[in-house]
Amino acid sequence: MEVEDLPQYGDDDYLGDKGVRMVDEIVSDDLKWIFRDQRKADLGIDAQIELVSPEKRGTGRLIAAQIKCGLSFLKERTDFGFVFRGKSKHLKYWIEHSLPVMVILCDPADSKCYWQEVSAANTELLAKGWKLIVPFSHVLGADSKNALTSLAGRPQHGDIVEALLYGFLHEKYTRKIEICTIFELPRDYHVYAFLAKISGEMVMIDVHHDQYGQLQIEDLKEIVRWKEYNTQQCGATKLHIYVSSESRGALRFSEDIRLYIASQPGVEVFPLLYSRSPMLWLNELDSNGREIQFWPD
């Protein structure tokens, strides 16, 4: 075999990996948050960053990141920052993403990383593509914690779905449901979105918004693992999990998902189609993937 026939680990590959390592180190060591490499499918998101509370607990508040490393990304500048230029398909994908998205530019010479949120307000459309100014002052590190916390704290689609679910449940069950207010919840009732009385029976209710296009069994296991704990706090033995997605395909649960649900006593899972156009809406799907128009009394 000739040397030329072997795969090559080029400079671009090296810089791509180095940028991810740089951001991972800053997020993990300086911010003390969780960094998750997401480069499995190259759709323009390299990583997710999850905020961790001062009590060292996961918060579920996430920021998606596109990471670029190398002096070629730092050459074009204004008085205020670096100019990042992108393709139209990426802008649409990032702005409509379920999570806030930021571009991170890494300088391998001084180990600094600079960030900026990708939003309609921050980007300028061009004849071809678009551009974004990444400020010199936006250095990723401990000093950026407040700004990033504010970014992650904005309403995300998961939050919107949870708010919509409140009205959806009242429409589905009409007079048969009473949802406990925050003041009525047991002090140690955690994680789940609602505790409700449905036809006189206490039921725990949670919602999972799918953002990858396919429900994972690990997502369900993470929700179900809190069931026994919360049962001890509130006495409810039933758990209703509403899974929402903009993709009908994601709501066609795989066989292993169905088997897992069937193996969990008192657990039911309901698919909800999440619509953003022409208005925000939730529609429950039946076992054939059809939208349910009316529920039995």
Domains belonging to the chain, first-starting first, are 3-152 (3.40.1350.10), 157-284 (3.40.1350.60)
Please give the pLDDT value at position 296.
74
Burial (0-12, 13-18, 19+ Cβ within 10 Å), 155: exposed
Q: Would you write out the chain's pLDDT as a tens digit for each of its 297 residues? A: 555 666 776 777 888 899 999 999 999 999 999 999 987 656 689 999 999 988 888 888 899 999 999 999 999 999 999 999 998 888 888 887 878 999 999 999 999 999 999 987 889 989 888 999 999 999 999 999 999 999 998 777 778 889 999 999 999 998 899 999 988 888 889 889 999 999 999 999 999 987 655 678 988 999 999 999 999 999 999 999 999 988 888 898 889 999 999 999 999 999 999 987 778 899 999 988 899 987 776
Helix (H) or strand (E) holding 23: helix 11-25
Say what the pLDDT of residue 20 is: 95
| Close Cβ partners of 236 (under 8 Å, ≥ 6 residues apart) | 195, 201, 202, 203, 204, 230
The reported pTM is 0.60
Query: What is residue 1's predicted lDDT score, i.e. its pLDDT?
Result: 52
Q: Report pLDDT for 216.
A: 83
Query: What confidence score (pLDDT) does residue 89 get?
Result: 82
Model pLDDT, residue 195: 96
Give the pLDDT score at 99.
87
Do residues 84 and 67 lie in contact, with contact meaning Cβ atoms separated by under 8 Å?
Answer: no
Tokens encoding 47: 């990583």
CA geometry: angle at 193 spanning 189 and 198, to 5°? 90
CB 237 within 8 A of CB 277: no
Neighbour order of strands in the sheet with 281-284: 177-179, 194-198, 201-209, 238-245, 267-275, 281-284
